[in-house]
Amino acid sequence: MSNEKSRFVVSADWVEKQLGAPEFRIVDASWYLPAQNRNGAAEYAGGHIPGAVFFDQDVIAVHSSSLPHMVPAPDVFAAEVGKLGISDTDTIVVYDGPGIFTAPRVWWLFRTMGAKNVFVMDGGIDGWKKEGRPLETDLPEPAPATFHTNFNPYAVTSFEEMRGIVSTGSKQIADARGAGRFTGEEAEPRAGMRSGHMPGARSMPSGTFSEGGKFKDLASLRRHFEASGIDLSKPVVTSCGSGITAAIITLALHSLGHEDNTLYDGSWTEWGGREDTPVVTGPAATGKD
């Protein structure tokens, strides 16, 4: 059983067998940082998994905020995914480009809004194409559906709550940004932002949870948390650059049966972009800090 995988992650083989099944919905959640020189919407139009709809993480979001892709109000989310033909009772599979990159954020959003049967596809569309699986370029015209939300407010942490967590140490903080950004040795990709991390945070770079676009097995995930100094018997808040890759840690936590976790939606864009927040540089302290 040592190579047991997450119950929330499905293989491309399984997805291909389900294509066209009733109440089975595929969602392309590809999103990229400017430095990656890739465009999720353009790639989707150029070829996607048959029947997949495109979930634009910057559109299905709060537009009144200066922060990127913040969690939308439940009624806004319901209206948008309803237009994509997705109901809360469907089996929903989310994928991205390289695999285990931006799909977990949309997996987390669907679950936070009340959908129960949501999965992430291993390997991404890159892996799907490499294996020569079917693609289509037609843009689907799904019949509108009704998505009944059952929003879980606990899943999302606000700035004020995060400030309290940092000052009291009430929750462990797992940071998904790269190690250089965490220590402050590397500049943030967004201009005008301080480098470093929140006091007490642990570094868990998002890329370390997968290999070749596939999510690591449960034993490896568990070891990763232990090595980072995260106690899985205690509450955790996840964070990253802008709230997207933090969900990779969230996916790992839920995969290991850890339910007492929440995601800091504003993440470093909010925390590091302010002048009134404590920022620490250097590696995370080890042991009890």
Q: Is the pLDDT of residue 285 over 70?
A: no
List pLDDT tens digits, range 45-82. 999 999 999 999 999 999 888 888 999 999 999 999 99
3-state secondary structure of 251: helix
- State residue 287's pLDDT score: 44
Interhelix angle 246-255/103-112, nearest 10 degrees: 60
Q: Is the pLDDT of residue 1 over 70?
A: no
Task: Give the DSSP H or E segment for 264.
Answer: strand 261-264
Task: Give the DSSP H or E segment for 54.
Answer: strand 53-54
List pLDDT tens digits, range 188-223. 888 888 999 999 999 999 999 999 999 999 999 999
Task: Evaluate whether 256 touches 112 at the Cβ level (below 8 Å).
Answer: no
Pair of tokens at residue 138: 């037609």
Task: Pick the closest to residue 179 from 157, 201, 161 (CA basis).
Answer: 201
Task: Pick the closest to residue 109 from 70, 54, 165, 163 (CA basis).
Answer: 70
Q: Which of 121, 236, 240, 251 is catalytic?
A: 240
Task: Evaluate whether 278 touches 208 at the Cβ level (below 8 Å).
Answer: no
Confidence of residue 289 (pLDDT cuts 50, 70, 90): very low
List pLDDT tens digits, range 228-276. 999 999 999 999 999 999 999 999 999 999 999 999 999 999 999 999 9
Interhelix angle 218-228/246-255, nearest 10 degrees: 120
What count of residues does the chain have?
289
Confidence of residue 2 (pLDDT cuts 50, 70, 90): low
Tokens 């009291």 identify what position? 168
Dist. CA 273–CA 49, nearest whole Å: 38
- State residue 153's pLDDT score: 97
- State residue 33's pLDDT score: 84
Side chain identity at 220, as an amino acid letter?
S
Exposed/middle/buried for residue 192 (C-beta within 10 Å: 0-12, 13-18, 19+): exposed
- State residue 288's pLDDT score: 41
Q: Is the pLDDT of residue 10 over 60?
A: yes
Q: What is the mean pLDDT of the chain?
A: 95
Task: Give the DSSP H or E segment for 215.
Answer: strand 214-215
- State residue 286's pLDDT score: 55
Active-site residue, 209 included: no
List pLDDT tens digits, range 114-160. 999 999 999 999 999 999 999 999 999 999 999 999 999 999 999 99
pTM tops 0.75, yes or no: yes
